[in-house]
Amino acid sequence: MNTVVPSGKNIPRNWHVIDAKGLVLGRIASKAALLLMGKHKPIYTPYIDMGDHVVVINADKVRLTGNKEEQKLYRYHSGYPGGLTEITARRMRATRPAKMVEEAVSGMLPKSKMGKQMYRKLKVYAGDQHPHQAQGPVAMVVEG
């Protein structure tokens, strides 16, 4: 009996749509990260990007539990002294709702070149419309 080692050339990549309306941010992010890494496939290989494409819609209607709406902070630094900027989750939802989901998924992916390659297959949209209908995405069900 031989062990089959997949190559990076002939990996079937599917498209998945996750509707984030009323769902918890962390649960959506963990499901999306699992799909992007390809851990749901029986031929998963850790050193090859086996993942699928993921489209997340209704990112502006994602739910945060507890007091995270006021207490969760998104931080970024300009690189200059005193250049730290902090934004609450409420303000982030009002200005850039897709960024909340993108950062949550990005934090669950590997911190490497392959992780950046996986991240490029993530598409997040604030509304319920997306331009990827031609790829025939399959709707994913996320509990919670």
Rounded CA-CA distance 41/134 in Å is: 23
Q: Taking each helix axis as running N to C, give the angle between helix 25-37 and helix 97-106, from 0 to 180 degrees, rounded to the nearest 10.
A: 50
> Could you tell me which of 107, 118, 117 has the C-alpha nearest to residue 38?
118
Here the tokens at position 66 are 């507890």
**Domain annotation for the chain: domains and CATH numbers:** 15-65+93-140 (3.90.1180.10)
How would DSSP label each residue in 89-111? Answer: HHHHHHH-HHHHHHHHHHTTS-S
pTM of structure: 0.91
Rounded CA-CA distance 61/21 in Å is: 5
pLDDT in tens, the chain (144 residues): 888 888 878 888 999 999 999 999 999 999 999 999 999 998 899 999 999 999 999 999 999 999 999 999 999 999 999 999 999 999 999 999 999 999 999 999 999 999 999 999 999 999 999 999 999 999 998 887
